[in-house]
Chain A
Amino acid sequence: MPKRTDIKKILIIGSGPIVIGQACEFDYSGTQACKALKEDGYEVVLVNSNPATIMTDPTLADRTYIEPITPEMVEKIIEKERPDALLPTMGGQTALNVSVKLAEAGVLDKYNVEMIGAKLPAIKKAEDRELFKQAMYKIGLEVPRSGNARNFQECLDIIETMNFPVIIRPSFTLGGMGGGIAYNREEYEDMVRFGLECSPVSEILIEESVIGWKEFELEVMRDKNDNVVIICSIENLDPMGVHTGDSITVAPAQTLTDKEYQVLRDASIRIIREIGVDTGGSNIQFSMNPANGKVYVIEMNPRVSRSSALASKATGFPIAKFAAKLAVGYSLDEIANDITKKTPASFEPTIDYVVVKIPRFAFEKFQKADPTLTTQMKSVGEAMAMGRTFKEALLKAMRSLETGSYGFESKIRVGRPEPVFRPNEAEMDVIKSMLKTPRNERLWYIAEALRGGLHVDDVHELTNIDRWFLNNIREIIEIEEGVFWQGRQGQLSKEILRKAKEAGFSMKNLASLSGKSEAEIKSVLKAAGIEPVFKTVDTCAAEFEAYTPYLYSSYERPFFNVLTGGAPSPACEANPTDRKKVMILGSGPNRIGQGIEFDYCCVHASFALREEGIESIMVNCNPETVSTDYDTSDRLYFEPLTFEDVMAIVEKEKPYGVIVQLGGQTPLRLSVALEKAGVKVLGTSSDSIDMAEDRERFDKLLEKLDIKKPASGTARSIDEAVRIAGTVGYPVMVRPSYVLGGRAMETVYDETSLMDYMTRAVEASPEHPVLIDRFLQNATEVDVDCISDGDTVIVAGIMEHIEEAGVHSGDSACSIPPYSLDAAVIDKIRTQSILMAKELKVRGLMNVQYAVKDGEVYVLEVNPRASRTIPFVSKAIGVPLAKLATKIMAGKTLKELGFTSEVTPPYVSVKEAVFPFIKFPGVDILLGPEMKSTGEVMGISKDFGTAFAKAQIAAGNRLPHSGTVFVSVRDDDKAEIVGVAGVLQEAGFNIIATGGTARYLRERGIKVESVLKVTEGRPNIVDMIKSKKVDMVINTSFGAKSVADSYSIRRSSVDSGLPHFTTVAGAKAAALGIRAVLTGGLDVKPLQEYHAEFQGSAETTHKILSPEAARSDA
């Protein structure tokens, strides 16, 4: 019996902003679910606050609510939409938690909404540690010895019965937040306190540690007929103790005999039945004692997860899509396997390759963050690679990370290309310590240790990593050594090169090892016929024919047929078509500064090409994404985004052109090399890109157009830096040239600090100049996205930042339309943007950043490519910009595409950034030129205040409706904060402040209560924050001492989950938001209705300036 007909309308809850622990994987699952359910004729209502997702595209669901994912807001949506069912399993822990709250509050019953996929008791049984433990015992499975605590005293009681180390896991948190490993009583007490605070239900599980045991995961699916299948087994290279999201993981499991694997399989089936997940996918984690195979169940996620996205990409089996189908009543045998077409989904995928997932970290962004890997997830992204062997997949995965690694480079002697064969004793000690404590670079140190002569058994002793993995790394090292010596002796043999390529070595790595150039290596390989082939991911290890071109590269040996003749050749399954085709280069692993926004753009490119009848070829290596779904593009190459790997595909496919401007810096960095290699780069020329990036050329362009920019200069030495700073005037913004996401960018206020920066942060040299710009203090920053076909330029969105210039644009909240700028300034910005786009002959997208100070407009930066804000702007104006840009690159004009006039929506859209500070204890939360946010949310409403308030709520800053606000601001901000305090007081808030601020406010008629600074004694403001006597914090500070003094205020507000504002502009907006909410309340409205308000009515759109008019206006 197929799908249910008693339900018509289904609500799907997304996962909200990208945070550590919840990334693109839930856009992938949610998008699949929307598509699957719509395909079956259901009406889909979606709520997700994250505008950068594909799932929130207005075409994916029938009704798309970009609203905060809170029980209150979702209830409003339910009240309005009256869905028949709620699918809670697609949006990660966020969706699951909200669904549980709605169910428990009786909202679902009240509106007669059925939870499908997983019911409340099953979710509770899987999520509540105690219930889960009991369930496992009931079915004869064991879990590590543990106890639940709801308060500190219970924690103290429990530890009496256990031995250290113990693991602390708060209930209902995502990415293991607030969890960790305590090795002694002191650590234990600190950690349980923090854990209790992090858990929304103030409950933690304390568990005897199985650190060092092997860790496995199984992805399980079940249908309503109780058919259960295992989709994939995953073995973690990093043993227990490191969060699976931070572990290098491998599929399938490598070191289990069939007997042991079947033990896990049987257990998984029993678990999903006992927990009672009706239909859909679950992820189950096990640990196994490597000495005797004893198994403990660690946890179960009764929903799709990061691992299920990985398993889907690793096997070609779309778990989320099928989970959605199962939720509406299909059984597995009624669903066809998309890839083989002929066989049903009721089978277990089998693979004939190895998959390696490797996490990407961002510790360089958080100076004081502890890079030790624990049970709390810290990575911000991941890359996946496939190869026919583990060695090949591992080396491909390492270069997919884009951290500058092309193999096992030496970490101990940085900058030396050749491997260190004999580290000295001191170095060996460092290496050993790097093995003992898991950190983000441990993998490289394993190689270093093996090179240094440490035995595999010793490395195993130090790391507990299974010898199987270590021996494979050792084999890589041996090949490395062979290449090194043969290269030095000038006798690089065909045999060793073939061996190396089969093991996954990059040409770059081979070149540096052998002392030859990459070109030389390439020609030797070519002459020897050592070329990559492409193999298909087909779910069935070639047992059935695959109809989906989902490919990865590998090196296989040639074979031949003596009867039919022909030269020996390796088997390649790429079979390129002779259609017109365009290759889209994706954005690789998520990182701060480059994430889901660019995946959104790439996916749109793919959709656009399909609409234009052009074959789309996607290249990407991020398993979380929609772009790496095999049915997004006509062809998918799951490959690292390095020049070598991309060129291999180009040479095979011979595309008409390559799109590099939609995937962020990753593909853009390749554009020059690709062009040099004769590849046609579509859209804006690389000469224009260079013109925008090269300081001198760009200055000339601005001069020509008579556009202002802050005074600046390029320094190649310390002396030069000092001289330039003197001329442009302090404060100055300094940064190394060509950086992403504001790396190492700082605002410097005087010469001493400048000298310090120049010696500490960067090493200026003729090759690595340092850029120095006049810093416009208290200027308003404005972001503009526009689209151009080379003739016509349309300004798509003018975004006024809430935080002032100096805060990285990715970290700043912003508003469309501008909420405070006057019309003349906006006109000027519009005109200048159009002029620059024309001058740069932009074909596609362009982003400009401006600073506005005293009515004057300055250009800060121009990027002729898709920016991070494209999805936000697209949703705000109801125009799919990335799609249009792709069509322009394919030859269409804006006129042909029907986008000829600027859109001014009759509502306000606010974007807010979301930060990972809670995951990095001890890190200051002050914003600066270095980007720190991982995700974003959007709030839409008729007025700015409400839209801003919605964005804050969505970002987890729950603006209070009443209570106490703490204010402490630097002198420069005092004048401005009076208004804020006034608004808040009028709204009924108590204001408390420290000395100076309190006096200042009191003098201006605000009723203020004084509190002590941290340095002034106790009880002070931090005590008040910790004892929850404060409901909101406004704290700005300036100067090293003041920043240090107030650090604990900011940190404690983050740790206590208080809304906090570190800029006056932010505080102002918050006050407006609070007032708006208190007077008007919060409404909910789907994107489709917002867009309908202006679409089709010409009066609300602007007239487009002709180039001449633009010029004269300027």
Chain B
Amino acid sequence: MRKAILALADGTVFEGSSFGAEGETTGEVVFNTSLTGYQEVLTDPSYKGQIVTMTYSQQGNYGINPEDVESVKPWVEGFIVKETCLFPSNWRSTESLMGYLMRNRIVGISGIDTRALTRIIRDKGAMQGVISTVEGDFHKLVKKAQAAPTLVGRDLVKEVSCTQPYEWHGELWDLEKGGYPKAGKDGTKKFRVVAYDFGVKKNILRNLSAAGCSVTVVPASTPAKGALALNPDGIFLSNGPGDPDAVEYAKETVRELIGKKPIFGICLGHQILSLALGGKTYKLKFGHRGGNQPVQDLTTGKVEITSQNHGFAVDLDSLKDKASLTHINLNDRTCEGIALKDKPVFSVQYHPEASPGPHDSQYLFKRFTDLMQSQK
């Protein structure tokens, strides 16, 4: 197998094997601790700008199938694994992970000590890196890694958002029978929702639909009045990549929408909402990425195991008197959810749509429809 090199901005160099497209790629190197769900991770637009390493050592075991995608294509800048499986085994599998990466021109490296890499990121923080299958000079590669742009101050939303509004048709995966059921007729949906696409995952839209919403997905740049013109029952703010603080236009839009319609935000949507409310966001040392993060719902005291993927977080203190804290992360006590006391607005930092990850937080979609119902 062809050689590949991973170089980090701090000078660390790993030599491994190429298992994707040939070439070179840069990005912020982050780790994800999910045991399952590499296909969903690859296709999550929030990973734009990032090279992802999966901490679980065996990837590609169940191959790739046409169903488990969260967007139209993989968005990661590169993929790092300990061992990749060339002979996947699952009745839904149609190709191998390696074949998929090659087909989609994603550079990947395998055979390196991903645990050592994870420990470096944990100790020093997420940093820029480069994977190359073409350059052999370690020093040059480290320089390239150092020169790669960081995420701070970067608006990546514009690179992943849709360019035209569209109607969403698609239901949740049928857990009993497998497969996606046929989309229900529009007339059967009780709520009209406008979903801002900052890099939305399909499963959010499927969940909204399953909760009884007919969803119009609009580009991130859609002005508030454009959304309101559609006369929705509620506004949804999606997840997405990059630095929330850099998405000025979205902050502006959300500021205008607050108080006009019920709003529900997830991940980047939650951060943009917080910024719109006058709060601040900051970059976490290495972020939360995985499917095992404990979050406590402060309104019920219950703990839910959540799917997460974020490198920035909302500064709790900055929201004092502006919003109330509804959810906290039990690992590091960071902000995981907020709500307004006097307006039908709430958001969470984590991913109730799961995919990949546990379904514990699905109730939030109902909370959104209840909110819309109460405002009808």
Contact = CB atoms under 8 A, between A and B. Distances in A.
Interface of A: 140, 225-227, 229-230, 233, 252-263, 265-266, 290-293, 331-333, 342-344, 346-354, 388-390, 456, 466-468, 471, 535, 540-545, 556-557, 559-564, 570-571
Given A262-B359, A348-B291, A559 B68 contact: no
A346 B175 CA distance: 25
B35 A292 contact: no
Interface string B124-144: 000000000000001100100
Contacts of A263: 175
Contact of A261 (B10, B11, B36): B36
B122 A292 contact: no
Interface stretch (B110-118, B259-267, B316-324): B110-118
A350 B82 contact: no
A556 B35 contact: no
B83 interface: yes
Given A342-B331, A559-B12, A542 B122 contact: yes
Given A262-B356, A352-B57, 9 more contacts: A255-B90, A333-B296, A343-B294, A346-B330, A347-B305, A471-B89, A544-B331, A561-B11, A571-B119
Given A258-B40, A258-B356, A348-B291, A571 B296 contact: no
B163 interface: no
A563 B113 contact: no
A352 B56 contact: yes
Contacts of A557: 14-16, 111-113
B187 interface: no
A332 B360 CA distance: 16
B56 A350 contact: yes
A450 to B, nearest CB: 13
A529 to B, nearest CB: 13
Contacts of B232: none
Nearest to B8: A561
Given A468-B89, A542-B55, A559 B113 contact: yes
24 contacts: A225-B303, A254-B58, A255-B61, A256-B36, A261-B35, A266-B175, A332-B303, A333-B294, A344-B330, A346-B303, A347-B305, A348-B292, A354-B58, A471-B86, A535-B115, A542-B31, A542-B115, A545-B122, A559-B13, A559-B113, A559-B116, A561-B12, A561-B13, A570-B113
A810 B331 CA distance: 50
Interface string B166-194: 00000001011010000000000000000
Contacts of A560: 12-13
Contacts of B13: 559-562
A347 B34 contact: no
A226 B300 CA distance: 11
A655 B105 CA distance: 51
Contact of A468 (B61, B92, B118, B331): B61
B293 interface: yes
A353 B57 contact: yes
A638 to B, nearest CB: 16
Q: Which of B39, B67, B116, B119 has the most CB of A within 10 A?
A: B116
Contact of B305 (A229, A252, A261): A229
Contacts of B82: 352, 388-389
Nearest to B358: A265
8 closest pairs, A vs B, by CB? A563-B11, A258-B37, A571-B116, A258-B356, A541-B55, A468-B89, A348-B292, A556-B113
A466 B303 CA distance: 36
A570 B16 CA distance: 13
B355 interface: yes
B87 A541 contact: no
Contact of A255 (B89, B356, B359): B89
Contacts of A266: 175, 359
B303 A352 contact: no
B290 A350 contact: yes
Contacts of A545: 122
B6 to A, nearest CB: 9
Interface in B246-289: none
Given A344-B294, A561-B13, A571-B119, A390 B303 contact: no
Interface string B18-34: 00000000000001011
Q: Which of A261, A466, A543, A562 has the most CB of B within 10 A?
A: A543
Contacts of A229: 305
Q: Which of B10, B85, B88 has the most CB of A within 10 A?
A: B85
B115 A352 contact: yes
A562 B138 contact: yes
B135 to A, nearest CB: 13
Contacts of B138: 562
Contacts, number: 202
Nearest to B56: A352
Q: Which of A349, A354, A541, A563 has the most CB of B within 10 A?
A: A541
Contacts of A230: 305
Nearest to A388: B57
Contacts of A543: 31, 33, 55, 118, 122, 290
A445 B305 CA distance: 42
Contacts of A535: 115
B122 to A, nearest CB: 6
Contacts of A291: 91
Contact of A354 (B14, B57, B119): B57
B301 A225 contact: yes
Given A266-B359, A388-B82, A257 B92 contact: yes
B9 to A, nearest CB: 10
B302 A227 contact: yes
Given A333-B330, A389-B58, A562-B138, A257 B118 contact: no
A333 B175 contact: no
Contacts of A252: 35, 56
A226 B302 CA distance: 8
A853 B175 CA distance: 73
A230 B304 CA distance: 12
Contacts of B334: none
A408 to B, nearest CB: 18
Nearest to B176: A140
Nearest to A261: B36
Contacts of A343: 294, 330-331
Q: Which of B10, B55, B142, B355 has the most CB of A within 10 A?
A: B55
Interface string B58-88: 1001100101100000000000001101111
A534 B3 CA distance: 26
Interface in B171-227: 173, 175-176, 178
Q: Which of A254, A389, A535, A544 has the most CB of B within 10 A?
A: A254
Nearest to A349: B292
A259 B173 CA distance: 8
A899 B40 CA distance: 65
B335 interface: no
A291 B92 CA distance: 9
A254 B37 contact: no
A541 B56 contact: yes
A258 B12 contact: no
B293 A347 contact: yes
A290 B294 CA distance: 32
A361 B36 CA distance: 33
Given A225-B302, A562-B11, A257 B90 contact: yes
B240 interface: no
Interface in B84-113: 85-92, 111-113
A265 to B, nearest CB: 6
B36 A258 contact: yes
A390 B36 CA distance: 16
A261 B302 CA distance: 23
B371 interface: no
B118 A333 contact: no
A111 B318 CA distance: 57
B354 interface: yes
Given A140-B176, A468-B88, A562-B13, A333 B303 contact: yes
A348 B305 contact: yes
